[in-house]
Chains A and B, each alone.
Chain A
């Protein structure tokens, strides 16, 4: 009778820890302060490889803050202090030996508002590979640009106008251009911070369709205010409230039968 929203790829039965595939990213006891104010409290989350994890919760609950911990985007914020352990393939990303630029190549990001560079469509995609030295000649760049634009579902719409400015595209196209830019550097994980909130329903549907395809090659962590979207695109959902992780579980479970009262109140619109 269970109302399945999306079949979960992960095994339902508890597999002994030793046999379980190691998570792509794992966070343990993550605490974060902005100055004196604590924004995250003991957050534990595992992100499985080739899965989509959705982070939901009311504004100011810490979900974006947590997302930004995963590629150290919070490092740039003054007075921000992080404790705890965040690992990518078992490697501590806050270790002193980690090159942050390298990390952000492995863990890419797509933001709420499409933010193409004030350059051509081609250059938007080729920029990352160029600074990371992923291609050396025109042919290689051409190939990366084409593959990335195809991966972002944008190629057919822009193939004949690659030299036009990126910001001449529609909002939805710009967001897909940003996704193409993110995947051009061959990341392993893609973080998305409300990628559809500035888009119309059709552009949103295209991005959602894209997320499902991207999952074949990447691991995705997405912050969204749209609960139906979280239910549709993710396999696991994490519900945050006031900096605490209230519930983390299979998306099917969270949206049909959450374990915590607070989760239920939030997703059914009974908060406050």
Chain B
């Protein structure tokens, strides 16, 4: 039975066990909040050519890594002392995986920031509207997936999961657009390559958001998400 069907989860007989689980959830939330900001700043840096925003993304990356480490340690300790079962086990195991996704997302935000900084020295092309749109889509996905995690809402997670297709489509059209620019003017090749990498990074951020959606679904239902994006294909 899922948590949504049965309402909020009851408390453990041992209160400190609840504290442990809460700490794990809080660490994911905290990590997610930073990553969400990282993606937002990277998006802003890309849209406005804001080098300051880009640098702040790079500077904050160690915070994400430190939180991931703390989460790993906490989860391992709880596994060792509580031998969790069922929903508790799924929450902890999925937290370990979700933190990994978040850490990767943070890395992609850093990659984007680094390329944005490099692009600022180029005059030919700095961004294109489709990419800005794509980056905003990703930022929304990150925000919504964290909301779904906090609310433990599998439907909301599923909605994010379905949106990945839009990001993939945007990625394809960005790629095609940049290809035409490069064909038109070989001097644009260097900045366009940077932009292609940025688009790829954004697309990967979207993928990790869908990974998290799958983990939220598993955490709550204990089974895998139905992988057919049926209402789209």
Is B11 an interface residue, CB under 8 A from the partner?
Answer: yes
Contacts of B223 in A (CB 8 A): 257
In the complex the two chains form, what is the Cα distance from A1 to B89 in whole Å?
Answer: 13
Q: Mark B1-38, 1 if CB is under 8 A from A, else 0.
A: 10000100111111001000000000000000000000
Is B80 an interface residue, CB under 8 A from the partner?
Answer: no
Interface size class of B (residues with CB under 8 A): 20 to 34
Closest to A254 in B: B86
Contact B86 A272 (CB under 8 A): no
Contact A3 B89 (CB under 8 A): yes
In the complex the two chains form, what is the Cα distance from A106 to B14 in whole Å?
Answer: 42
Contact B85 A268 (CB under 8 A): yes
Contact B85 A231 (CB under 8 A): yes
Q: Mark A252-272, 1 if CB is under 8 A from B, else 0.
A: 000111111101110111111
Please provide the chain B residues from 215 to 233 with a CB less than 8 Å away from any CB of chain A in the complex.
Answer: 218, 221-224
Contact A264 B83 (CB under 8 A): no
Is A59 an interface residue, CB under 8 A from the partner?
Answer: no
Contact A269 B89 (CB under 8 A): no
Contact A269 B17 (CB under 8 A): yes
In the complex the two chains form, what is the Cα distance from A258 to B222 in whole Å?
Answer: 9
Q: Mark A1-30, 1 if CB is under 8 A from B, else 0.
A: 101000000000000000000000000000
Contact A267 B93 (CB under 8 A): no
Contact B13 A264 (CB under 8 A): no
In the complex the two chains form, what is the Cα distance from A267 to B223 in whole Å?
Answer: 18
Partner of A269, one of B1, B14, B90, B222: B14
Partner of A256, one of B10, B13, B222: B222
Is A228 an interface residue, CB under 8 A from the partner?
Answer: yes
Closest to A228 in B: B83
Closest to B222 in A: A257
Partner of B86, one of A1, A228, A258: A258
Contact B86 A268 (CB under 8 A): yes
Contact A269 B12 (CB under 8 A): yes
Q: How many residues of A contact B (CB 8 A)?
A: 21
Please provide the chain B residues from 194 to 233 with a CB less than 8 Å away from any CB of chain A in the complex.
Answer: 214, 218, 221-224
Contacts of A268 in B (CB 8 A): 12, 84-88
Is A227 an interface residue, CB under 8 A from the partner?
Answer: yes
Interface centre among A228, A259, A264, A272 (most CB of B within 10 A): A264
Please provide the chain A residues from 135 to 161 with a CB less than 8 Å away from any CB of chain B in the complex.
Answer: none
In the complex the two chains form, what is the Cα distance from A214 to B9 in whole Å?
Answer: 39
Closest to B215 in A: A1
Contacts of A259 in B (CB 8 A): 1
Q: Mark A234-264, 1 if CB is under 8 A from B, else 0.
A: 0000000000000000000001111111011
Please provide the chain A residues from 189 to 226 with a CB less than 8 Å away from any CB of chain B in the complex.
Answer: none
Partner of B10, one of A231, A267, A270: A270
Shortest B221–chain A CB gap in Å is 8
Partner of B13, one of A1, A260, A267, A270: A270
Partner of A270, one of B1, B12, B89, B221: B12
A256-B222, A265-B10, A270-B13 known, 20 other contacts, Cβ within 8 Å: A1-B214, A1-B224, A3-B89, A3-B90, A257-B86, A257-B90, A257-B221, A257-B222, A258-B1, A258-B86, A263-B86, A264-B1, A264-B86, A267-B86, A268-B12, A268-B84, A268-B85, A268-B86, A269-B12, A269-B14
24 residue pairs of the A-B complex, CB under 8 angstroms, read A1-B224, A3-B89, A3-B90, A227-B85, A228-B83, A255-B85, A255-B86, A255-B89, A257-B223, A260-B1, A261-B6, A263-B86, A264-B87, A265-B10, A268-B12, A268-B84, A268-B86, A268-B87, A269-B12, A269-B14, A269-B17, A270-B12, A270-B13, A271-B13
